[in-house]
Amino acid sequence: MDIAVSTTTALCGAQWTIAGAGHEAVVVEIGGGLRAYRAGGVDVLDPYDPDELCPAWSGKVLAPWPNRLRDGRYAFGGRPWQLGISEPERHTAIHGLVGWVPWRLVAQAADSVTVECLIAAQEGYPWPVLLRTHWSVGPDGLRARHEATNLGASPCPFGLGAHPYLRLGAATVDDLTLRVPASSHLLVDGRLLPIGAAKVAGGGLDYNQPRRIGAAVLNTAFGDLTGDPVVVSTTDCSVRVWADDSFRWWQVFTSDTLTGDRFRRALAVEPMTCPPDAFRSGRDVITLEPGQTWTGTWGITPES
């Protein structure tokens, strides 16, 4: 007997819309991140359609590591580990393990939603970690609170990032003014992997005072943060991206590798707990002990 099977579903999976105080966001099942966020009916993040494959990690949660890991190799607990290569053109493992898997709805209210995902123990990362994200909107804008709990019997390495693309009205990246309160940035090779660090003071990557981006090409990790938010603005409006001290890095990306209408249309401002290739360098990697829960919070505040 033939059994009818429905194969029709949005590429983003289920969607949960939250709204409050003039702010609205759409959280999706696949990746557990944001498909859209708007304030006063105006897009603050560059949205994508439900039946569009999420472009360039837009709005996703990046865990258990953000950014790139050279050759997918690292050592932890006195042993070497090999992850799958998810960015073949640069031969790296990029943005963790949960960006393209379903997250489960845990709780929902009019202005908030909580979703979770289990990182199953697997080749290259043999530790079960439960991730949970609480998304909420209110008078101060959008807020994300992340939790990670080590369900295994041994310590594990962990890092987390997020990948929002800011869009301010009809302005392109060239028209935006940027302030990044940071004292240093990473130097990278042709694979966008770190080979050193440099101070930003007085150089072309010094955005401690607001500067127009213009034709600048950025795919840059900024460190030694002051704790102040990143501010992106035009003559008409501004957006603050803030994070608690769990997030020690900002990755800023001017969308130069995106194609079509998305080329340099939106600016990615990515809070990260650790820098690129951190599992190899050990820099700012979180060690989760068995049963331990880490939490970190960041958010977006639009201002007229």
**DSSP codes joined into one string, 235-302:** SS-EEEEEE-TT--EEEEE--TT--GGGTTTSEEEEEESS-TTHHHH-TT-EEEPTT-EEEEEEEEEE
Section 145-159 average pLDDT: 98
Q: Give the angle 256-257-260 at the CA atoms, nearest 5°.
A: 90
Quick one: pLDDT at residue 4?
46
Section 12-29 average pLDDT: 98
Torsion of CA 250, 251, 255, 258, to 10 degrees: -140
User: Is pLDDT of 190 > 80?
Assistant: yes
What separation in angstroms does the CA of 211 have from each of 25, 74, 124? 29, 37, 42
Quick one: pLDDT at residue 8?
52
Section 87-107 average pLDDT: 98
Contact assessment for residue 210 and residue 198, using Cβ atoms and an 8 Å cutoff? no
What the chain holds in terms of domains, given with CATH numbers, is 15-303 (2.70.98.10)
CB atoms within 10 A of CB 145: 17
List 82's β-bridge partners, or say none.
73
Quick one: pLDDT at residue 9?
77
Q: Rg of the Cα trace of the chain?
A: 19
Section 116-133 average pLDDT: 98
CB atoms within 10 A of CB 7: 4
Least Cα distance to 30 among 105, 86, 121, 95 occurs for: 105
Contact assessment for residue 188 and residue 198, using Cβ atoms and an 8 Å cutoff? no
CA 34/CA 77 separation, integer angstroms: 34
Section 213-239 average pLDDT: 96
Query: pTM of the entire structure?
Result: 0.95
